A and B are shown apart, each in its own frame.
Chain A
Amino acid sequence: MFRFIGRRFLQTIPVMLIIITGTFFMQRFVPGGPFTAEKAVTPEVLHNLEAYYHLNDPLWKQYMDYVWDLCPKRFHPLALVNGLDFKAAFGIDFRPSFKYPNRTVNEIIADKLPVSLELGGWSLLVALGLGLPLGILAAVKRNTWIDYLCSSFAMTGICIPNFVLGPLLVLAFAIHTGWFEASGWYSPIDRVLPCLTLGSFYAGYIARLTRGGMIEVLHQDFIRTARAKGASEARIIFHHALRAGLLPVVSFLGPAAAGILTGSFVIETIFQIPGLGREFVNSALNRDYTMVLGTVILYAGLIVTLNLVVDVVQVWLNPRLKFE
């Protein structure tokens, strides 16, 4: 297993390098730059700005300098605990942001990533906490009103987009009843509405996948054998069927977790959450070159890691697969 993980880790290095190179050059060919504005800066000012950010250097030199700054130069992972400082931990320097000149991209990531992780984590819990029981219930009580109720909830969750559900929840529970704040990310109670909004979409998906997986498994021979041997219904569902029935959910969770973490832009905008999703999208609009690269690299790293975790969990759940 460690050999498997080690080999997969080595494979990620060229993947990351391709992503960095592609992003670095692609954003330079996008029309408009960090200093493009409806009212142009005067030539003297533009010259000073470009000199300040070394944009006058040849592109290949800018690229080499940047990649060198990114290369890990030390290994103190414990420094990450102390405020997610990638520079202190690995010597990875994402440089200062163009848009926020007094902040480094390292600092912005350290500041915003925990918020996005928290939002994503709670939302994932909501998604699993709602989706799994609903899916199992629907599969076990197949074609009864319970199934229809669970399935219509799941479909509703999938069909109502975040940007509709979010404002509806705000209208009902913030403006009308006053139980929650309409936006913000200050106290624990502020987590409820955003996580519910983001989680419910994935809950719907997970419920449908669980239902499908469970129905398929519940029809298999080994379940009939277990029943014939007199196992209780609870034991059949939770011990025998669930492990196999969850496989589609587990494969979905990798991309879903990545999607929840990276795709939280809409939720962050509706609820004014200071997460990384907003920085990610706005950095592209601002042509904040260093911020774009920093967030892309971070998200790429997250997705690669999550996919690896999913692969390991799948082997563990499915005896037919082996590490190789």
Chain B
Amino acid sequence: MIHTVMSRKSWAVLPLAAVLALGGCTRRDAAPPPVGQAVLRISQRNEPGDLDPAIASMPDDFFIIRALSEGLVIPSPDGATPVPAAAERWEVSPDQLRYTFHLRSNERWSNGEPVTAEDFLESFRRVLSPGTAAPKADLFFPVKNARDYLSGKLEDFGSVGFNAPDSQTVAVTLDRPMPPGEFLPYAASGPWIPVNPRAVSRLGSQWTRPGNFVGNGPYTLTEWLPNQRITVKPNSFYRAAGQVRLAAIQFVRFDDEDSEERAYRAGQVDVTMKVPTERIETYAHERPAELHRAPLAETRYLSFNTRRPALNDPRVRQALSMAIDQRRIVDDVLRGGQEPADRLIPTAISTGVLDKGPPRGLGYDPAEARRLLAAAGYPDGRNFPHLELSGWSSAPVLEAIQEMWKKELGIEVAIVLREARAHVAALRSGAYDIGFITLIPDVPDPISILENFTTDSPNNYPHWSDGVYDYLIQLAESAGNPAKDVGNFDAVALRGAESLLLTEAPLAPVYFNSKVWVMRTYVHGWREDALWTRYYGDLWMDSTGIPRH
């Protein structure tokens, strides 16, 4: 009898106990493959919308496009001025209005055709044609008349600032003078990557399919299983084909960091996108050589809706901003090497002159915050209206901020989590109180970040309006009279604008995000900048250990 009871109980729990026990034990290690058959498997978070550089819009799309094609220049992995790619050199006119790019003589498409200046011009015309509906066409706006051609005001592409003196030369005329450090990041951006006009006109939207794709990059497209995996193999016509040392790269789709991390432990992927926060310490402890951290040019900030009562008072916004202990959020909540944001422009963007004595934010000062709140008429948070703190993710950060405001200022806010696009729509229409949002610039250009907060910008989520600020941004944009010292003049206006933004506090920067990922130790030559731009030409895998099954 006793025997029966015991076995009944133990039988019922046996399968579960076995599974749980196994979960805590060892894990399988992946052995690196020999170089000749080195297939690198990189986790891909979002399925690319398209692999057409004119149509693609997300950094994730360009993860793959940049393996397949390259523009005149490519972003430098260390964040400095872009480096040569399809163009081997360029000249800048003394007035900084005209850039002349010289293509490499050995630059070929993956079907063997030479890459010509006309191909570049046709690609640019395609991006700017209204009928193409290219989502990132605004990255051509520094070019003379590009904006008017895109909006249909101008119908002759000849009047846009592009021309090809010969088949090896692309000349670009700008709308306003821009030093190389300011203009080249635009020329290195995604939509400037050329397409083969003959392939596009022959195949229409089908040209990005495997077998059809024609590019000028280190790899060429051989497999695209939507929502599953994309495979690229070396392009024998690539200008530096001899340096490509992988047999293939597979971009394997993972919806989230948890399934990706399980696959990494099972040896199915070599490079991940993100390590789940709760696993960072385990990896740091057990496999430190595989754990990588890198800063991102990504500012997470709180936007205060300046049309709301209480929040229309700068003292209240300053108080809310100064009561946030960013250091604690970074160290105790996020734990992924993020950096407290004492300004809006991410430190990962090298801004040259702007970085000499950069503007500082309000800092963490709870005593001053209490004083400001009392001065605004809410001593100890009394009579403070009931406000909502909304976001679409990062609930732990919002909870930490909620707690800090309650403890330091005595005010209660409610946290509202919305679906991502609903959240952005609420920010844009002004149907919110305080919103948590991410700012990722397309190019490492401080103006492109700061101009978001001018009165008419669609990204002015605080709905803040300041004549001086608008004027400073306008000054910085129109600066560049060659007689003056362009860099400095720009920088003074921009520094003034950023300081104004930080002291008037329509927004409160919280932290600069970072990237935390794991990568096998046999992977070498990984190059990725703070704006998620990758260069695959240097990648290789060593042959330590046994070949993979």
Name A's B-contacting residues (CB within 8 A).
30-33, 35-45, 47-49, 51-53, 99-103, 108, 111-112, 145, 148-149, 152-153, 156, 167-172, 174-178, 181-185, 269-272, 274, 278-279, 285, 287
Residues of B within 8 A of A37 (CB): 57, 424
Shortest Cβ gap from A173 to chain B (Å): 8
| Residues 21-53 (chain B) with a chain A CB within 8 angstroms | 22-23, 25-28, 47, 49-50, 52
Residues in chain A near residue B227, CB distance under 8 A: 112, 274, 278-279
CA distance A39 to B25 in the complex (A): 45
Within the complex, what minimum Cβ distance (angstroms) separates A321 from chain B? Answer: 39
CA distance A42 to B150 in the complex (A): 11
Chain B's interface size range is 35 or more
10 CB-based A-B contacts, threshold 8 Å: A36-B421, A47-B130, A47-B151, A167-B258, A168-B23, A171-B262, A175-B265, A176-B26, A183-B259, A184-B228
- The minimal Cβ–Cβ distance linking A147 to chain B, given in whole angstroms, is 11
CA–CA, A37 to B438, complex, Å? 10
CA A285 – CA B138 in complex, angstroms? 25
Against A, the Cβ 8 Å flags (1 = close, 0 = not) of B260-290 are 0011011010000000000000000000000
**Which residues in A have their C-beta under 8 angstroms from that of B12?**
148-149, 152-153, 156
Contact of B263 among A32, A35, A177, A183 (CB under 8 A): A183
Contact A102 B50, CB 8 Å, known A175-B265, A181-B266? yes
Q: Is B544 an interface residue (CB 8 A)?
A: no
Q: How far is the CA of A152 from the CA of B9 in the complex (A)?
A: 10
Residue B426 at the A interface, CB < 8 A? yes
- What A residues does B252 contact at CB under 8 A? 184, 272
- Alpha-carbon distance between A316 and B456 when the two chains are bound, in angstroms: 69
A176-B23, A182-B263, A269-B259 known; A38 and B438 CB under 8 Å?
yes
With contacts A102-B50, A183-B254 known, is A175 near B458, CB below 8 A?
Answer: no
Query: How far, in whole Å, are A271 and B258 apart by their CA atoms in the complex?
Result: 11
CB pair A269–B151 under 8 Å, yes or no, is no
- Are B23 and A171 interface neighbours, CB within 8 A? yes
| Residues of the A chain whose Cβ atoms lie less than 8 Å from the Cβ of B150 | 44-45, 48
CA distance A171 to B27 in the complex (A): 9
Identify which of residues 115-135 in chain B touch chain A, using a CB-to-CB cut-off of 8 Å: 130-135
- Which residue of chain B is the closest to A186 with respect to CB atoms? B228
Q: Which B residues lie within 8 Å of A285 (CB)? A: 419-421
Tell whether A48 pairs with B133 under 8 Å between CB atoms, given A102-B205, A171-B22, A178-B266.
yes
A45 touches B226 (CB 8 A): no
Tell whether, in the assembled complex, residue A176 and residue B18 are in contact, meaning their CB atoms are under 8 Å apart. no
Q: A40-B459, A101-B205, A183-B262 are in contact. Are A33 and B255 (CB under 8 A)?
A: no
What is the chain A residue whose CB lies nearest that of B4? A145
| Interface residue from A111, A170, A172, A184 paired with B18 (Cβ < 8 Å) | A172
Partner pick for B226 among A44, A181, A272, A274, CB 8 A cutoff? A274
Residue of B nearest to A178 (CB): B28
Nearest CB of B to A158, in Å: 14
Segment 131-160 of B: residues with Cβ below 8 Å from A: 131-138, 141, 147, 150-151
Convert B414-441 into 0s and 1s, putting 1 for each residue whose CB lies closer than 8 angstroms to a CB of A: 0000011110111011000000011110
Q: Is the pair B428, A40 in contact by a Cβ cutoff of 8 Å?
A: yes
Give bound CA distance, A63 to B445, whole Å: 43
Determine whether the beta carbon of B422 is less than 8 Å from that of A32: yes
Docked-complex contact B226 and A100, CB < 8 angstroms: yes
Residues of B within 8 A of A103 (CB): 226
Inter-chain CA distance A297–B487, complex, in Å, is 58
B272 CB, nearest partner CB in chain A, Å: 13
Given the complex of chains A and B, what is the CA–CA distance between A4 and B208 in angstroms?
49
Task: Identify 6 new A-B residue pairs, CB closer than 8 A, beyond the known A45-B136, A145-B4, A269-B255.
Answer: A35-B135, A45-B135, A45-B137, A49-B133, A111-B226, A176-B28
- Whether A170 contacts B262 in the complex (CB less than 8 A), given A39-B440, A40-B458, comes out as yes
Q: Give the docked Cα–Cα distance between A145 and B8 (Å).
A: 7
Shortest CB–CB separation between residue B69 and chain A, in angstroms?
Answer: 16
Tell me whether A39 and B459 are in contact in the complex, defined as CB-CB below 8 angstroms, given that A48-B130, A51-B133 are known contacts: yes
Complex contact B442–A39 (CB within 8 A): yes
**6 nearest interchain CB pairs?**
A32-B421, A182-B266, A40-B458, A52-B133, A31-B425, A171-B23
A176 CA / B28 CA spacing, docked (Å)? 6
B232-263 interface bits toward A, Cβ cutoff 8 Å, 1 = contact, 0 = none:
00000000000000000000111110110011
Q: Which listed residue (B11, B49, B137, B138) contacts A149, Cβ 8 A?
A: B11
Chain A residue numbers with a CB within 8 Å of B4 are: 145
Taking CB as reference atom, which chain B residue is nearest A287? Answer: B421
